Amino acid sequence: MRRDEKATLVERRALSPDASLLCFRSSFLASALRPGQFTMVRLPEAEGLLLRRPYSFCDAEPDREQFSLLVKEVGRGTRALARLPEGAEVDCLGPLGSTFTMPAPEHRPVIVAGGVGIAPFLAFSRALRAAERDATVLLGGRTAHDLYLREEFEALGMDVRCATEDGSFGEKGRVSVLIDDALAGPVQLYSCGPTPMLVKVAELARERGVAHQVSLERRMGCGMGCCLGCVVYTSEYVRCCSEGPVFDADSIQWDRDRHPL
């Protein structure tokens, strides 16, 4: 059940020169959200920002009535959100979209994430930990700065492995250099990040016969299935905001559906 909720910014933490973790108070959203879902955020005071912007729920603490968003500044909307003063209120429509599903007991979860695609996996890792499941978390970025929340995944006891394109942390190269080793044995793969990374991960998973859930990003106008601005090609057109953002990666026709952004 989604609602349009007021959420108050209670804390901001810089994660890198252009990314922040924003912690909001909303008792409803903190309890209702499920890993993989997202919210459409409107900044009532931001002039000229007509459309809401989509953000994955990053983490939730229902006991404290709080949830967090990881925000990377790429344009006007993300910049305005990242720079909100503490105490400000935003309108959050949510929780929206589909969720990651738990791996079968015999499958080891392997998470592959890059950039802001790391965001939805903190809540998911927390759910895995609550179910006493261990996961391998492969994080990729251009530099060490982009390996957001690495320490939080480690604190949850996840097996975290990193790759950076400039070699400043972990293996040198894209996160795909880490995948081969991680796919040994029965595995359930989860991914979110830049489309070239997702295409590569989907290819490797398909070659190895590994089940793979992928979270996709599209430009979104409404977030509720009305505007058809976010379609993804499977065997037919589906809406990323309402049938997704989490899909079975094998259902995506990657060659017909390169990222439109």
Ligand X SMILES: Cc1cc2nc3c(=O)[nH]c(=O)nc-3n(C[C@H](O)[C@H](O)[C@H](O)COP(=O)(O)OP(=O)(O)OC[C@H]3O[C@@H](n4cnc5c(N)ncnc54)[C@H](O)[C@@H]3O)c2cc1C
Contact positions vs ligand FES (CB under 6 A): 220-223, 225-230, 239-241
Shorter beta-carbon distance to ligand X: residue 71 or 160: 71
Report, in Å, the least distance between residue 87 CB and ligand FES: 30
What is the Cα–Cα distance from 115 to 249, expressed in whole angstroms?
A: 19
Shorter beta-carbon distance to ligand X: residue 94 or 109: 94
CA angle, 98 as apex, 116 and 1 as ends, to 5°? 115
Helix (H) or strand (E) holding 155: helix 150-155
**50 sits near ligand X (criterion: CB under 6 A):** no
Report, in Å, the least distance between residue 94 CB and ligand X: 11
**149 sits near ligand X (criterion: CB under 6 A):** no
CA angle, 169 as apex, 135 and 11 as ends, to 5°? 70
Contact 223, 201 (CB under 8 A): no
Report, in Å, the least distance between residue 77 CB and ligand FES: 14
In the numeric block, the tokens 């404290």 are attached to 64
Shorter beta-carbon distance to ligand FES: residue 173 or 229: 229
Q: Which two tokens stand for residue 5?
A: 């909720």
Phi, psi of 205, deg, nearest 5: -65, -40
Determine how many CB atoms are found less than 10 A away from the CB of residue 95. 23
| The dihedral sign for the CA sequence 5, 32, 155, 175 | negative
Among 33, 84, 93, 119, binds ligand X (CB under 6 A): 119
What is the Cα–Cα distance from 41 to 20, expressed in whole angstroms?
A: 16
Shorter beta-carbon distance to ligand X: residue 187 or 238: 238
What number of chain residues touch ligand X (CB under 6 A)?
22
Q: Which amino acid is at 237?
A: Y
Contact 86, 12 (CB under 8 A): yes
Stretch that binds ligand X, among 20-28, 73-81, 106-114, 206-214 (CB under 6 A): 73-81
Stretch that binds ligand X, among 25-33, 66-74, 103-111, 146-154 (CB under 6 A): 66-74
Shorter beta-carbon distance to ligand FES: residue 104 or 227: 227
Binding pattern to ligand X, positions 6-45, x when CB under 6 A? --------------------------------x-------
Contacts to ligand X by CB under 6 A: 38, 53-56, 69-72, 74-78, 116, 119, 217-220, 245, 261
